[in-house]
Amino acid sequence: MRLALVLAMLVPFVAVGCGGDDSNTVKIALLLPETKTARYETQDRPLFEAKVRELCRSCEILYSNAEQDVGQQQSQAEAALTNGADVLVLDPVDSASAASIVALAREREVPVVSYDRLVRDADIAYFVSYDATKVGELQARALTDKLAADGVSSGALVLINGAPTDYNATLFKRGAHSVIDGGPYSVGVEYDTPEWSPDEAQQEMEQALTRLGRDGFVGVYAANDGTAGGAIAAMKAAGIRPLPPITGQDAEVAGIQRILAGEQYMTVYKAIQPQAEVAATVALALARGSSPPADLVDDHVDNGFRRVPAMILEPVTVTADNVASTVVADGFWSPEDLCTAHYAAACTAAGIG
């Protein structure tokens, strides 16, 4: 579902929420998975917290970040429940093991909103995310279309996927393979990147260079901007010029700047504002004993336990040609964020500034 439509749906709930029903104070726990991906601290957390405060001035937010540690996230969830959380908004470190968090919450009759990453085989109340399979399709389609446009009709690809513990990464990979498999480009080597670590991705790219050689591949599928940055660092250190096309995801500042500079070909933009605001709105409704607002359920997703009411948002491909009309026009990043001195000329060329 597109950004403008989702934000329009939220308007009635803003009006109701700001009407002064602050007497029924609730506690909302937001449990995020890691900080290596910049979006969680720079976008998800502040946007979620701002929406909760807009809807309920007296509500308390119990925030934790697990720093990619499954045990720590379990402990943080237990602490939130002990501290009286009325609802958990959970972005799991491990999509499978997080079922134990959901089971504990359900024992205490506390609903769980699965945020961004789907918790598998658990009785979650709601799921909000972007279409993860489509993300992978967009990445792979952009990569293969770019190669074809450049006159590269065949060759090997390096695939640097996300964390194997993240179910979204499985879906990204599935979507990418649905485009790549059976096409003119082969998979030369493929990795799953522990913890989405850019350092691990850099090492994986170094291994790919050893196995395939500097000229043994024509493009790189990287599942997000962090892993793309690691792969690019390895290729630049190896003296590869020009760089082959490489994908990304999350529209991080560094990723957009690399796109403007011609080092990274594309990223996938997932506007965090509607995702965070939908999660906040639904969490407040659940905490107060209501069902998710009907207008914020546009799908149902099978998580292995049941079909979960969900809002599935639409991702967008971003290249240098549409940075200005997407992430800048939406206010996701400002020209000041992107157009530091080193990137000033590239911003001007892209119509940003």
Percent of the chain with pLDDT over 90: 92
Domain edges within the chain? 3-131+270-314, 132-269+317-349
Average pLDDT over the chain, rounded to an integer: 94
Dist CA 257 CA 254 (whole Å): 5
Q: What is the mean pLDDT of residues 262-282?
A: 97
For helices 132-149 and 167-180, angle between their N-to-C axes, nearest 10 degrees: 40
Crossing angle of the two packed helices 45-55 and 3-17, in degrees rounded to 10? 40
Q: Give me the amino acid identity at 32.
A: L
Show Cβ contacts of residue 290 under 8 Å, excluding neighbours closer than 6 positions.
none
Is the Cα torsion angle 320, 324, 330, 334 positive or negative in sign?
positive
pTM: 0.88
Give the N- to C-terminal CA distance of the chain in Å, as an integer: 29
- Burial (CB < 10 A; 0-12, 13-18, 19+), residue 336, is exposed
Show the tokens assigned to 113: 């909103």
Amino acid, single-letter form, for residue 34 = E
Convert the pLDDT of each residue in 74-117 to its tens digit: 999 999 999 999 999 999 999 999 999 999 999 999 999 999 99
Residue type present at position 21 = D
Element housing 105 (H / E): helix 99-107
Q: Band of the pLDDT at 55, cuts 50, 70, 90?
A: very high
Q: Could you tell me whether strands 155-161 and 185-192 are parallel, antiparallel, or unpaired per DSSP bridges?
A: parallel
Tell me how crowded residue 236 is: count the other CB atoms within 10 A of its CB.
Answer: 12
Residues with Cβ within 8 Å of residue 54, at least 6 apart in sequence: 14, 17, 18
What number of other Cβ atoms are within 10 A of residue 36's Cβ?
18
* 151 token code pair: 């006159």
Helix (H, G, I), strand (E, B) or coil at 15: helix
Mean pLDDT in residue range 197-222: 98
Tens-place pLDDT, residues 140-188: 999 999 999 999 999 999 999 999 999 999 999 999 999 999 999 999 9
* Token reading at 255: 């990723």
Question: Does 139 have pLDDT greater than 70?
Answer: yes
Cβ count near 341 (within 10 Å): 6
Class of domain 132-269+317-349: alpha beta
- Closest residue by Cα to residue 39 from 194, 199, 256: 256
Q: Where are the alpha helices (DSSP H) in the chain?
A: 3-17, 39, 45-55, 70-82, 99-107, 132-149, 167-180, 198-212, 225-237, 253-261, 272-287, 335-338, 344-349
**Token pair for residue 180?**
């790549």
In the block, tokens 């630049």 appear at 236
Cα 210 to the center of its chain, rounded Å: 30
Does the 3-131+270-314 domain belong in CATH 3.40.50.2300?
yes
Tokens, residue 200: 């691990």
Q: What DSSP state is assigned to residue 342?
A: G
Tokens representing 20? 């002064």
* Nearest CA among 31, 16, 42, 2 for reference residue 281: 16
Same fold, 3-131+270-314 and 132-269+317-349: yes
- pLDDT band at 24, cuts 50/70/90? low
Please give the Cα distance from 351 to 281 (Å, whole number): 36
Q: How confident is the model at residue 38 (pLDDT cuts 50, 70, 90)?
A: confident
